[in-house]
Chain A
Amino acid sequence: MYSAEISRANPTLFVFLLDQSASMQDQIGSGEGQRKCDVVADALNRLLSELAIKCAKEEGVRDYFYVSVFGYGGSGARPALSGPLAGRDLVPLSEIAASPARLEPRTKKVPDGAGGLVEQEVKFPTWVDPVASGGTPMCNALTKAQSVASRWLNDHPACFPPVVLNLTDGEANDGDPAIPAEAVRQLASADGPVLLFNLHVSSDKSPPIIFPDSDVALPNQYARQLFNISSTLPDQMRTYAQQQGIAVSDGTRGFVFNADITSIVQFLDIGTRASDLR
């Protein structure tokens, strides 16, 4: 399981679900007082950016992945990409890379080659903007993800299983998300069941937690619920998590609490990994 080659001939699907409910106005418990809606929008923009960079080759981005982005708030879930891709619910990665809504200049610190750091200007692409309004129809969003993944699997029965990533504060108000989450996880390609991961942003001031194997240390009911609906990490992903210094076990799940989840992009193999000799 989870060993199918990801290629242009056999691409896979990423579905991102972005909580855009009113509670996302609140500040995250850790960090520098950012709003939760800013944190998840930034996380999603960085995830899309990392995916595009990972698949960039000479003169283009290869379509190893197709991407769906749904925002949920108010009455239901709807396509959430802005700019030229607005309204699209399934977009090949090359189009994602070619059509951000904006490219904003940002500075980042990079090694100066003499042991120090120097500020360098980089272009940061943006596809989704922070939104916080209305209720939290998470069940509706998960059902939408199930529908998109189901269609995808009909057309790509042998693909590496689609990954559904839900970015939320966990406060669903349209029912018990465990039920549609189970329906998502029951979908499967010949290579294994669909993976459902969750990024929980919370106002709780507990320390960040990344890829736990138990809900014991989680600070509230929403965190525990999101942990329990998350898939366990497949073997290969656990190995990569371990290489990044994360303690893992057979029960490690695709769940993080108030922490960065961008690393999951690096958990997916698209061929020989480029890493420095040590």
Chain B
Amino acid sequence: MRVYPSTFHLPKRGNSFQEYEDAFWVGPDDDGNGEIGSLRVAVADGASSSMLAGRWARRLVKIFGSAKGVTRTRADFLAAYREAAYSWDGEVREYKTDREKRGVPIEWYEEPGLAKGAYATILVVEFSDGRPGYPRRWKAAAIGDSCLFQVRGESLCSCFPISDVTGFSYQPPLLPSRVAEDDVVLRHVCLKSGRWEQGDHFYIATDALAAWFLRSWQAEERPWAILRDLDTEAGLDFATWVDQQRDLGEMHDDDTTLVRIDT
């Protein structure tokens, strides 16, 4: 399978890269002969109004990106979520211990946020070659408003899980670090699969860029034409382009992440 992933990310204005609270993960499965059998991509967007949101987003992409099957069934998705949530208290304890050791103990204004827990979206996409004679497939699973777009030639073939720009808000469904009840999580999991062909392009993005993409497409523009050329000789670099869109009011000033898969 020949796929070429590129990753781009930029923090919200005024924030450093250490304060960036999205996360992404790209993981090829190597069959031992240098061939990539499948590729998994995960992106997560830590809710900026929660504490340790960046750590929670990083934990989610690591676990969901490494776990096989999470895009196939809701039960597998739930199992990955449980693994992330059940081990979260340990990470918080380590964080508190580290703060104590460094002489900067937890302050009164941090305690309620730590007790409430962290929140993030998750989107995981798996690309596979398929069996000989069968079409190549992609499968995706999501909670929240991080999005996948599939472009073939000059057409948008698939949007997931949001297909209309009015679907974005400040209150998307989020995976909490405090263990949520199984049925509540299962109710919000979205699954989708599709076929892909060599030459397709995929754009996997957190909400600020995803909303820009859909707004542009709904205005009958070709947003992929810009994303396809980012960081190439023909296009702008990602940070310059995102800054321009923020200046123009075309993109929310938020942590911004894009994983581009060229095939």
Contacts and interface: CB of A to CB of B under 8 A. Distances in A.
Contacts of B174: 272, 274-275, 277
A58 B48 CA distance: 11
B48 A277 contact: no
A19 B82 CA distance: 51
Contacts of A260: none
For the complex, would chain B's binding face be called helix, strand, loop or mixed by DSSP majority?
A: loop
A56 to B, nearest CB: 5
Interface string A1-43: 0000101111000000000000000000000000000000000
A8 B15 contact: yes
Nearest to B117: A274
Contacts of B51: 56-58
B180 A5 contact: no
Contacts of A59: 99, 104
Contact of B107 (A5, A54, A97, A275): A97
Contact of A9 (B53, B119, B253): B253
A61 B109 contact: yes
B193 interface: no
A270 B180 contact: no
A103 B108 contact: yes
Contacts, number: 95
B116 A7 contact: no
B113 A56 contact: yes
Given A7-B253, A278-B184, A272 B47 contact: yes
A210 interface: no
Interface string B19-56: 10000000000000000000000000101111111100
B115 to A, nearest CB: 8
Interface residues of A, number: 30
B5 interface: no
Nearest to B112: A53
Contacts of B252: 5
B119 to A, nearest CB: 4
A75 B127 CA distance: 72
A234 B252 CA distance: 19
A276 interface: yes
A216 to B, nearest CB: 33
Given A9-B13, A269-B170, A274 B49 contact: yes
Interface residues of B, number: 43
A217 interface: no
B176 A54 contact: no
Interface string B180-191: 100011011000
Contacts of B111: 122-123
A54 B53 CA distance: 13
A5 B245 CA distance: 14
B132 interface: no
Contacts of B47: 271-274
A11 B47 CA distance: 19
Contact of A271 (B48, B118, B180, B187): B48
Contacts of B116: 274
A277 B113 contact: no
A98 B51 CA distance: 17
A277 B253 contact: no
Nearest to A54: B49
A125 interface: yes
A12 to B, nearest CB: 13
Contact of A53 (B99, B109, B170, B180): B109
B172 interface: yes
A168 interface: no
B253 A273 contact: no
Nearest to B253: A5
Contact of A58 (B14, B52, B119, B187): B52
A10 B253 contact: yes
Contacts of B187: 277
A275 B119 CA distance: 8
A52 interface: yes
B19 A57 contact: yes
Interface string B155-193: 000000000000000111111100010001101100000
A276 B49 contact: no
Interface string A45-60: 0000100111011110
A83 B185 CA distance: 46
B108 A272 contact: no
A271 B254 CA distance: 7
The 4 lowest CB-CB distance pairs between A and B, nearest first, are: A271-B48, A9-B14, A8-B14, A274-B50
Given A269-B170, A272-B207, 8 more contacts: A8-B13, A49-B109, A56-B109, A59-B99, A270-B49, A272-B47, A272-B170, A274-B174
12 contacts: A7-B12, A7-B14, A9-B253, A10-B253, A123-B108, A123-B111, A125-B108, A271-B254, A274-B47, A277-B176, A277-B180, A277-B188
